[in-house]
Amino acid sequence: MTLKSINPATDELLREYPEASDQEVRTILLEASCAAAGWKQSRFPDRAQKIRRAADLLDERKAELARLMALEMGKPLAQGASEAEKCAWVCRYYADNAERFLSPEPVETDASRSFVAFTPLGAVLAIMPWNFPFWQVFRFAAPALMAGNAGLLKHAANVTGCALAIEQVFRDAGFPPPLFRALLVESKRVEAIIAAPEVKAVTLTGSTPAGRAVAGKAGSMLKKTVLELGGSDPYVVLEDADLEAAAETCVASRLVNSGQSCIAAKRFIVAEPVRKRFEELFVEKMRKRKMGDPLEPGVDVGPQARADLRDGLHRQVEASVRAGARLLLGGKAPAGRGAFYPPTVLTGVSKGMPAFDEELFGPVAAIVAAKDEEEAVRQANDSPFGLGAAVFTRDVKRGERLAADALEAGSCFVNALVKSDPRLPFGGIKESGYGRELAAFGIREFVNVKTVYVK
């Protein structure tokens, strides 16, 4: 069996990679477990020196890594370079902060001394998607390695080149070679890897069905999991919003990574008094975004990562239109090669339509009308997902209240697009998963929070 990397802009087969045999996987797991046992004894400054070197390599190689992302999954070059830079940022962030986050915390009790210690678990398996093929990995790997763990990467098959490039970055940065390894296997073999005794915990970024499968298997083995799953992020535009700024931010969020982002804005819930004007601005700005070959300068929207994903997105659009939604822009896949889908705007969207109920993983925006703030919040929360949300209003205190107390999501932003930041915890609730990545919360997910009590 081989893993195939196909250029989604041209349908060209880039490369085939031989799948690892059962014995090769077994060897990788054993070597990673042994490497973790030694790595946990290393000092934080030594770990930090290596992770900073990884950051430097990411910066040095960002152009070639951006090209690799463009070829394997269609990300426009400028976005790929920014992704590499963000990976360097998260490496430096944990190099600077990991020791502080994991320092023993004294607790006053009746003991002569008691404290909480944080110790690594061992080898952590990461099951990662194709849409941010470097960032998704580094936001797990940087804290996991700085905490003293080993990393095992099962990446999406279509970005195998990216997986191997990440492995090479860590090797070139001076990490022991077995400490971070890419597992070149099909998804059907993941359950057996989760069950392996060398794997101590699992993290997944992916779909809700994948999350259920991984959580079920890991749970049966009593292994810790962190799940970052799908989203149908609502952006609430209230009647007092700065509509020009809101429309610009909403379009930018909807088209992040050509619309293929869990935390890209999906549903735009707009107060009825300003809905028509918002639609005009939104469509105007969506229409100006350039779709094309991700290797060309100035392209905002590349192809979808695979043709089957593009076709599934189009079926969701057609089903929503049949159910009563109206097309304001786009909605038709262009002829010719490549998995392209144009920026598309639907209005008149309501519950019961795919555009409202499901995650639209592509450049399709769903506009939903709301008579007032109360109905807007109700519709925003009327979703099985809870990853991100945003609210737009000139009354910042009002926005802060809604973000903190009313909207049901792991991240709620006011007058800004939802994004991940190494300094802030990231994750979801409901069917968007559980656990947190990034910040102090993220590095503490894969450690033993250990009580030490001295009489």
How many angstroms separate the CA atoms of 299 and 75, rounded?
10
Is 228 a residue of the active site?
yes
Is the distance from CB of 90 to CB of 138 less than 8 angstroms?
A: yes
How many angstroms separate the CA atoms of 197 and 447, rounded?
17
Is the distance from CB of 213 to CB of 222 less than 8 angstroms?
A: no
In 3D space, the residue among 377, 383, 376 whose CA is nearest the CA of residue 360 turns out to be 383
38 Cβ partners below 8 Å, 6+ apart?
176
DSSP 291: B
311 Cβ partners below 8 Å, 6+ apart?
333
Q: Are strands 113-120 and 447-454 parallel, antiparallel or unpaired?
A: antiparallel
Is the distance from CB of 304 to CB of 289 less than 8 angstroms?
A: no
How far from the centroid of its chain's Cα atoms is residue 26's Cα?
28
Helix ranges restricted to H, 7-149: 22-39, 44-60, 62-73, 77-101, 135-146
How many angstroms separate the CA atoms of 180 and 233, rounded?
33
Question: Of 31, 167, 228, 431, which is the active-site residue?
Answer: 228
Is 262 a residue of the active site?
yes
How far from the centroid of its chain's Cα atoms is residue 143's Cα?
16
In 3D space, the residue among 11, 144, 143, 137 whose CA is nearest the CA of residue 71 turns out to be 11
Is the distance from CB of 318 to CB of 339 less than 8 angstroms?
A: no
Q: What share of the chain is helix, strand, coil (3-state, %, to 5)?
A: 45, 20, 35
Which DSSP string do the residues of 189-217 spell out, in sequence order?
Answer: GHHHHHHSTTEEEEEEES-HHHHHHHHHH
Classified as helix, coil or strand, 226 is: strand
Q: Which tokens hold the place of 4? A: 């195939």
Question: Of 262, 358, 431, 445, which is the active-site residue?
Answer: 262
Catalytically active residues, by annotation: 228, 262
